[in-house]
Structure 1
Amino acid sequence: MMSSRVYDLPTRVFHWIFAGSLITAFTISNTIDDENLAFSYHMIFGLIMVFSVVIRIIWGLFGSKHAKFSDFSLNLKNLVSYLKGILTGTNRKWVGHNPASSWAAVIMMILALGLGVSGVLMITGVAGEVLEEVHELLANTFLVVVILHIAGVIIHQSKHKDSIAMSMVTGFKQDLPETTEPVSRHLGVGLLFLFLTVGFSAYLIQNFDSSSRTLSIFGSQLQLYENEGDDFDGYKHGESEEHEEHD
């Protein structure tokens, strides 16, 4: 048995950008009132998360062996067998994504895109409270999947002692068959992925007008607050009067 690189740099960069933007957006949405200016950054980090997913989908089609979606194990029989194996400690070794992480990755990416689309529609005032409930349902489902994913990694690690949790940091998995071929680091693509994401994030921040809470993006104006008509207009009007009193 041997240690081999199975996750290239672009895959690992996506993993941590995705996790970071999700955690930040979720924390802001659950700790800051939506009338607060800081709440707008919940939406900005949501856009960053969606951007990273779009790039990951491209890499999932054209990337290295274990980054491709074709390498994911999405057979339900394999998933059931894997889950049973976690409990008994008799799992086979999966070089790339195991069945549980394959399903978790695909579901989380779909949910992220759903959150992005519903979030944009919410701030444009489409479908009102119904869409807000859908957005909240997607967010809560996302949280459940994340918790299950983390729990699965912890249980797997406790049973197999193979440092699987570190594979998304180092790119290497341990105790693999001698015939396992390591994937290339794809350093250039990984750095490009990071550069594009940082550049897109800077673009969003630069084009965000905090005074009006609007974002100019690709020729369109997005209001980074829930479009609730008179309620927010009243908030802005009251804010303006307060500023006038201070003046």
Structure 2
Amino acid sequence: MHQVIVWDFPTRAFHWLLVMALIFQYVSGDILDDAMQWHFYVGYFTLGLLVFRVVWGVVGHTYSRFTYFVCSPKTVFNYLQGQDTREYLTHNPVGALSTIALLTLFLTQAVSGLFISDDIFYEGPWHSAASDAMIDTANFLHGQMYILLMSIALIHVLAVLFYQFKKKQPLVQSMVHGKKPSVKAGHKPKPLNLLFALMVVALSAGALYLIVEVLPPPVEDSFYDY
């Protein structure tokens, strides 16, 4: 059994930061009464994380690319039927499907949050530019997709625990140190280009700044207009 570096540091950092962001958003949105401003801030941070992951999934390290682990519905079906016994270094077909579903739902939450308002003090940067119909749609998505997101996230956690303890696959440890055991030798992806990774981080941060601060129209504050 060989130890193979599968999850590069940027992917692992993204994963755990997204986990912490999800927990914070749940607490600030559903439990605390006076944390809505921080709920918006962490929502923007989450959007930045997602921008990074999408870009990294296209141009990033070998095993982090979507083309490496995303598979066809037929492959997922065969895996569920027990007909696919291949070794998967990264996500198995069901795990890949879960990952894409979670990323899609996270993006839905983050983007819809740009258009919503708490109807009291805080609103997303694009709220004033949106039509009433768009705002209603964003509010609906932000509320209803959140339930679906939390449900799939819970299923994802339960699946990880199943593979961790029942099938003895150290998935949690792998997402900490990046290594997974493999029965095959010769899995040697190219070394991580740290400078390139930092460039992708900077690009993602710049894109987030444009989306949240530069491109939205200025908010007209009529409170002090007499």
TM over 0.5: yes
Which residue does the alignment assign to 2:167? 160
Task: Please point out which of 29, 51, 56 is paired with 1:59.
Answer: 56
C-alpha distance in structure 1 between counterparts of 2:207 and 2:22, whole Å? 16
Task: Please point out which of 218, 226, 247 is paired with 2:214.
Answer: 218
1:119-162 CA-partner distances (Å, limit 9, x unpaired): 11113264355532321111111111111111111111223313
Task: Please point out which of 122, 134, 140 is paired with 2:116.
Answer: 122
Tell me the secondary structure at the aligned position of residue 179 of structure 1: coil
Which residue does the alignment assign to 1:136? 143
Tell me the secondary structure at the aligned position of residue 167 of structure 1: helix
Kindly state the Cα deviation for residue 66 of structure 1 after the two structures are TM-superposed. 0.8
Q: 1:159 to 1:175 in 2, by over 3 A?
A: farther
Structure 2: 5+ residue runs without aligned partners? 118-126
Q: 1:15 to 1:113 in 2, by over 3 A?
A: same
Q: 1:151 to 1:141 in 2, by over 3 A?
A: same
Contact 2:62 2:189 in 1 (8 A): no
Which residue does the alignment assign to 1:241? none
The letter for the 2-side match of 1:110 is T
1:12 is aligned to 2:3: no
Contact 1:122 1:132 in 2 (8 A): yes
C-alpha distance in structure 1 between counterparts of 2:107 and 2:95, whole Å? 18
C-alpha distance in structure 1 between counterparts of 2:111 and 2:170, whole Å? 36
1:75 is aligned to 2:82: no
Contact 1:2 1:178 in 2 (8 A): yes
1:84-104 CA-partner distances (Å, limit 9, x unpaired): 55xxxx954211222122112
Structure 1: 5+ residue runs without aligned partners? 204-215, 224-232, 234-247
1:145 is aligned to 2:144: no
Q: 1:57 to 1:194 in 2, by over 3 A?
A: closer
Contact 1:13 1:193 in 2 (8 A): no
- Report the structure, 1 or 2, having the larger strand content: 1
Matches within 5 A, 1:1-247: 1-33=1-33, 36=34, 38-83=35-80, 85=82, 91-123=85-117, 124=127, 126-127=132-133, 128-189=135-196, 217-218=213-214, 220=216
C-alpha distance in structure 2 between counterparts of 1:77 and 1:11, whole Å? 27
Q: 1:188 to 1:130 in 2, by over 3 A?
A: closer
Aligned residues: 205
C-alpha distance in structure 2 between counterparts of 1:153 and 1:186, whole Å? 29
Contact 2:108 2:141 in 1 (8 A): no
C-alpha distance in structure 1 between counterparts of 2:218 and 2:181, whole Å? 47
Task: State, as a whole percentage, how many aligned pairs show the same letter.
Answer: 26
C-alpha distance in structure 2 between counterparts of 1:222 and 1:197, whole Å? 23
Tell me the secondary structure at the aligned position of residue 42 of structure 1: helix
